Amino acid sequence: MPLYSSLSEKQELIRKGNLSLTVNVRDFLSRIEQIKDVNAFLAVFPEKSVESAIEIEKKIISGKHGKLAGLVVGVKDVLALKNEIMTCGSAILQNFSPVYDATSVRKLIEEDAIIIGKTNCDEFAMGSSNENSAYGNVKNPYDHSKVPGGSSGGSAVAVSAGLCDAALGTDTGGSVRQPASFCGILGLKPTYGAVSRYGLTSFASSFDSVGVFANSIEDIFAIHDVIKGFDELDSTSVVSENSYCHDESRPLRIGIPVEYFDEGLATEIRHSAERIIERLKELGQTIIEVSLPNMRFAIPAYYILTTAEASSNLSRYDGVRFGLRTEKDGLLSSLYADTRSGGFGREVKRRIMLGTYVLSKGYYDAYYQKAQKVRRIIREDFLHVFNEVDLLLTPTTPTTAFNIGEKSENPLEMYLSDIYTTSVNLAGLPALNFPAGKDQNGLPFGLQFIAPYFCEDLLIKAVQLLNSDS
């Protein structure tokens, strides 16, 4: 494992000659090869990353370097990296290479971060366990019989297992925070629109957010500060980022939503949350019990809306324009059907069918339109609560990581893995998972802070407060 705890410490070691960035990158590459059975990476770039390390090390020593100089990053394989394979974890894109960089990836490179490889993920980011990749399961680094969480499990494992300093993932319904919890690391889901989605292969366009994994809260802040901001190439990116988040003259008011602490929560996670609440009180913060009464509708509303958007977004994979083509004689409709049948996995097909159903004539009003109304009500619940508190503290997941294959045959049980995360995406709010303990089997779990729109700095401040010695 690296001998530094943050990017600033790493840069200082390089500057003083106590760390070689080239050796550091080669050590990461060696470790990726040594534990390749965790299947965290779909593609690794040894030559490019070493060449970048040589050049960036010179920049650091000369003092003329970017904000992220020397940071070694994995990128989830739904984000475009020019001229490199991007599969989205799907057989239908097995030989596809984009001709441009995703905005978030480009910003990393411009600030001298080193992209070491593309990380494995559930197919088109559809999953809670990273068992839906066409290229094999990702394994939890704490116990290879357990899932790492999904859909950004490869990115979470890459950071947790010491295969890179940080990683980009995407969070549509908890896909950064849930694997971060299962793998014992930090995971930030930003405000919807705070980070450009240009170059991100869409699962559900009104939900997807580009997020960050790291072991250091300082690195989370540094990376998010670089990748955020308005992008004219993304019509959903937001110009304004300056919200009034907290009056520094008073303690933080932290809300504890009663709905997140029901009988489905593992005892060890509940006890850890209680200890952290007491710690916050000792630090002089104000704890307030609050209610989000419509949270119980989050899972059904989320899966109706996201599958509807997915069915529309995935219609472009037809065997004609790009990606896999199943060549057979006959009608064009047969080409479509054969290509999509052979190229998409079971979970993607399930969601396309469900999404097509809820958008169909006769069911649109009963399902899709009603789910949109529920989404608005859930958002209003959060807005109401944030009139009383500055932050919310909740569990991230109801349990620690479950066994590979345990929930594969029960989609509803799998979907309930995201019960504490999907409401945040429905409302478009920012949230941050932080490590909060381990269960009796040594498996990690996290809790999450949830903040008002564009108050990512407040999330980071809260975790720094918990880590302080005061």
CA angle 321, 323, 329 (to 5 degrees): 75
Given the structure tokens 């690296």, which residue do they identify? 2
Q: Write down the catalytic residue from 133, 155, 160, 175.
A: 175
Q: Write down the catalytic residue from 6, 49, 104, 151.
A: 151
Alpha-carbon span 224 to 179, nearest angstrom: 18
**Cβ-proximal residues to 459 (8 Å cutoff; 6+ apart), any chain:** 188, 391, 430, 431, 432, 449, 451
What phi, psi does 392 have (nearest 5°)?
Answer: -115, 145
What phi, psi does 455 have (nearest 5°)?
Answer: -110, 40
Of the candidates 183, 130, 138, 123, the residue with the CA atom closest to the CA atom of residue 156: 183
Summary count for the chain: helices (H), strands (E):
15, 11
> Is 175 designated active site?
yes
Q: Are 113 and 68 in contact (CB under 8 A)?
A: yes
> Is 438 designated active site?
no
Given the structure tokens 């006890």, which residue do they identify? 271
Q: Write down the catalytic residue from 10, 76, 146, 461.
A: 76
446 strand-pairing partners: 435
Q: Are 125 and 314 in contact (CB under 8 A)?
A: no
Give catalytic residue positions.
76, 151, 175
